[in-house]
Chains A and B, each alone.
Chain A
Amino acid sequence: MSRLLVLFAAAAVLALLILPAAMPSSQFIMTIAIAKGFAALGVALLLRGGLISIGHAMYFAIGAYATAFMMKFGVLADLALLLIGSTLVTAVCGLVFGTFLVRFRAIFFAMLNLAVSMVLFALLSKLYGLTGGTDGMRVATPAVFGLELDKAAFDDILYYVCVGLLVAIGLLIRAYLKSPLGYALMSIHTNEIRLEYLGVSAWSVTLIAYTISAALAGLGGAMAALTIGHVLPEYAYWTESGHLVLTAVLGGIGGVAGPFIGSVFLEAVHVLAVDVAADAWNMILGAALLAVIFFLPHGLHGLLEKRAEPRKSQGVVE
C-alpha cells in the first residue's frame, strides 16, 4: 500500500470518528452505511473469485434475525456477545449452505443463492408465530457490558464499535486477501483448473471465502438490527441482494475499502435524493450502476487507486 493510500485511509477513519460530533444527524445513517458496507464487503470477496451471488442479503437477514431472537429470549443479550453470536450463527449457516453452493459457478451459483434466499424470505414472512411474519420483530436495546443504557447513548456506543470493527476487520480481510489463500481465491476467477493442478482444492478455497463472506454479511445484519431496532423479512429479498452487489461494484472490489466507500456514498446520496427526487431513487441507483460499469470498471475505489498507484487492480468488467 502506498503512503498516499495509508493517508487516505487514516483521513477517512478520522472523519468517521469526528462526524457524529460535527453532524449528529449523520450518525444513524453512517451506522447503517457501515453495516451494509460489511455485507457488501462479503459480496465483494466472492466477486474477486468471479462468483456473483444474488442471494447474499439472506446472510444479512440471518444476522439480523439472530440478534432479534437472542434479544427476545434474553440469551447473550449484551452488545459484544450479540455481535459475536450473530456473526457465528451466520458463519455456520454460510458453511452449511456453502458446502453444496460452492460447487457451482457462474449463473448456477447466482441462481442457487437466489433460491436459498427466497426460501428464507418466504419462511420469514410466513412463519408468523415464530418470526412475526411480514411485521418483523422488534429488537430491544441491549446492555453494553452489563450497563443498561437508553437508546441514544447505546447508539453512540454502537457507532464507535462499528467504526472500530470496520478498521479491525478491514485489516484482517486485507491480510486474508494478501495471503496465499486470498490469491487462490482470485485464481478461481482466472483459471480454476490450473489451481487444482497445483494441488489446491478449489472447493475449500471457495468454501472458506463463502463462509467469511456470509459472516461479514451477518455482522452487518446484526449491526443494522441493533441500530434500527426492528428486523423485517424484506432484508432477505432478492432486490436487497442486488443492492449489495451494486454497492460492492460501485465502490470497487479492488480493495477492502471499496465496498464501504460505495456504501457511504450511496447512503449519502440517498439522504440528499430524498428531498429532491424521492420517487426517482431507484432510477438514480440504476443509472449510477450503469455509469460505473460503463465508465469506471474499478469503481470509486479504483479512482483513488489510480491516483496512488497506477498498477492495475481487479475490476468486475474483464
Chain B
Amino acid sequence: MLQSLLPLLIDGLANAALIFFVAVGLTLVFSVLRILNVAHGSFYSIGAYGAATLGLWLVSAGANPWLSYPALLLSAVFVAALFGPAIERTLIRWTYGKGEAVQILVTFGLFLILEDLQRMVFGVQSLYQDTPMTLLGITQIGNVVYLNYQILLIVLAVLVLVGLRLLIKHTRMGRLLAAVVADREVSEAMGIDTDRMYMIAFSIGVFLAALGGALATPTTGVAPGLGAETMVLAFAVAAIGGLGQIEGAAIASVIVATAKVLAVYFVPALDSVAPYLVMLLVLMVRPQGLFGVAETRRV
C-alpha cells in the first residue's frame, strides 16, 4: 500500500506546489487591494510562455543547459516588472472603491486583451521545454521512481510560503503592507505611501503567478487556454483557503491536489471535477473559506 501511495504523494505535492504559486498571488493581491483579479491566470501563462521561449532559445543557441534555471526566474521577474506596476497604476487603480461587479468586469476585460496578446506574440502552437526537468534526473527508492524536479517544486513552494511569512511579519515593508490591509485611511494618515504599497503587492502577485507558470513549463508545457484554466483553479484554491489567507492558500492547494490525485486514482472520470466539488462543499459550509474571517453584512 505504502509503495503505491508514495509516488501519489509526491505527485500530489508537486501539483499542489504549482497551484500554490498562482493561488497565493491571487490571495495576496486580494488581501491588500480587495480586488479579485480575473486576469491573474494570464500572468501565469505569460510567465510560462516567456520561460519556454527563453529556454528554447538558450538550447538552440547552444548555451549551458544549467542556464535554463535562471531563465525560469528571469521570465517571472520580467513579466512582473513589465505588467505589475503598469497595470496597477492604470486599470486597477481606477476600480478601487467601486463595486465587485466593476472590478470583476475590468479585470475580465484585461484578461481578454492579454489572451489575444499572447496569441499574437507567441502564436497558437504549444511550447514544451523540459531541459530543467531532464537535467535533474530521477530518483529511485525501491520500486518507486520519481522526478527530482518535482522535489524541487515542493521545496520552492515551501520557501515561497516561508519567505512571504517572513516578509510580512519581519520586514519594514511587510509591516507597512499589514497596516494598509488593516486600515488604509489610517495608514495614509500615518504617512504610509499606500499607492506604492498597492503597486508592490500587485507586482508581487504578478511575479508569483508568472513564477508558477515558468516552473510549470518543464512538466506540462504551455498552450493557448492555459491561462483561463489556471485562473479557475487558482480561484477555487484561494476560495477554499479563504480569500486573503496565505497559509490558507497553501493548505487548500494541498487539499485540492490530493483530491485531484485521489480522483485520478479511483474515479478517473472525475479528476477535473474534484477541485470544484471541494470548493462547492467548503463554500456551502463556510462561505468565507476554511481560514477566512467572516465579514459582517454592510447596512
B235 x A111 contact (CB < 8 A): yes
Tell me the minimal C-beta distance from A102 to chain B in angstroms: 12
Residue A152 lies at the interface, judged by CB distance under 8 Å to chain B: no
Residue pair B276, A281 in contact (C-beta under 8 Å): no
The answer, yes or no, to whether B186 is at the interface (CB within 8 Å) is: no
Q: Mark A95-121, 1 if CB is under 8 A from B, else 0.
A: 000001000111110111011101100
The answer, among B91, B105, B279, for a CB contact under 8 Å with A316, is B105
**Chain A residue with the shortest CB-CB distance to B112:** A286
Are B109 and A293 touching (Cβ within 8 A)? Answer: yes
Option from B115, B117, B232 in Cβ contact (under 8 Å) with A114: B232
Stretch at the interface among B154-162, B164-172, B265-273: B265-273
Is A271 an interface residue, CB under 8 A from the partner?
A: no
Chain B contacts with A in 17-63, Cβ cutoff 8 A: 36, 38
Bound form: Cα–Cα A126–B299 in Å: 44
B101 contacts A119, C-beta separation under 8 Å: no
Most central of A281, A286, A287, A289 by chain B CB within 10 Å: A286
Asked if B272 and A317 sit within 8 Å, CB to CB, the answer is: no
User: When each residue 272-292 of chain A gets 1 if its CB lies under 8 Å from chain B and 0 otherwise, what string results?
Assistant: 000000011111011101100
Per-residue contact bits, chain B 212-240, to A (CB 8 Å; 1 contact, 0 not) = 00000000000000001001100110010
Indicate with 1 or 0, residue by residue over A236-272, a CB within 8 angstroms of chain B CB atoms.
0111001001100100000000000000000000000
B239 is contacted by which of A111, A119, A290 (Cβ under 8 Å)? A111
Tell me whether A88 is interfacial, beta carbon within 8 Å.
no
Whether the pair A238, B232 counts as a contact (CB closer than 8 A) is: yes
Q: Is the CB of A286 within 8 A of B270?
A: no
User: Which of B109, B113, B117, B120 counts the most chain A CB atoms within 10 A?
Assistant: B109
B269, closest chain A residue (CB): A126
Interface segment among B64-72, B140-148, B173-181, B280-288: the answer is B280-288
Of A20-28, A47-55, A60-68, A207-215, the one touching chain B: A47-55
Whether B36 pairs with A112 at a CB distance below 8 angstroms is no
Contact with B along A52-78 (1 / 0, CB 8 A): 101000000000000000000000000
Instruction: Count chain A CB atoms within 10 A of each CB in B94, B283, B297 and give the residue with the most.
Output: B283
B119 at the interface (CB under 8 A from A): yes
B74 touches A (CB below 8 Å): no
**A44 CA / B273 CA spacing, docked (Å):** 28
Nearest A residue to B239 via CB reads A111
Q: Which residue of B lies closest to A133 (CB)?
A: B269
Tell me if A122 and B104 are in contact (CB < 8 A). no
A289-B108 contact, Cβ under 8 Å, with A47-B101, A294-B94: yes
Partner pick for A50 among B99, B120, B228, CB 8 A cutoff: B99
Contact B243 A107 (CB under 8 A): yes
Count residues of A near B (Cβ-Cβ below 8 Å). Answer: 48
Interface residues of B in 86-106 (CB under 8 A from A): 91, 94, 98-102, 104-106
A119 touches B280 (CB 8 A): yes
**Is A127 part of the contact surface with B, judged by Cβ < 8 Å?**
yes
**Contact assessment for A52 and B109 in the assembled complex, using a CB-CB cutoff below 8 Å:** no
Determine if A289 and B112 form an interchain contact, defined as CB atoms under 8 angstroms apart: yes
A253 to B265, CA, bound (A): 47
Tell me which residues across on chain A come within 8 A of B297, comparing CB atoms: 105, 192-193
- Note all chain B residues with C-beta closer than 8 A to A104: 287
Contact among A112, A191, A193, A293 with B106 in the assembled complex (CB-CB below 8 Å): A293
The distance from the CB of A254 to the nearest CB of chain B, in whole angstroms, is: 14
A123, CB-defined interface residue at 8 Å: yes
Q: A119 touching B283 by the CB < 8 A rule?
A: no
Which positions in A face B, CB cutoff 8 Å?
47, 50, 52, 54, 100, 104-108, 110-112, 114-116, 118-119, 122-123, 125-127, 191-193, 237-239, 242, 245-246, 249, 279-283, 285-287, 289-290, 293-294, 316-318
User: Which B residues lie at the A interface, using CB under 8 A?
Assistant: 36, 38, 91, 94, 98-102, 104-106, 108-113, 115-117, 119-120, 228, 231-232, 235-236, 239, 243, 269-270, 272-273, 276-277, 279-280, 283-284, 287-288, 297, 299
Task: Write 22 A-B pairs (CB below 8 A) sorted by A numbering.
Answer: A107-B100, A110-B36, A112-B283, A112-B287, A115-B236, A115-B239, A118-B236, A118-B276, A119-B280, A122-B273, A193-B299, A238-B228, A246-B105, A249-B105, A286-B111, A289-B108, A289-B112, A290-B110, A293-B105, A316-B101, A316-B105, A317-B99
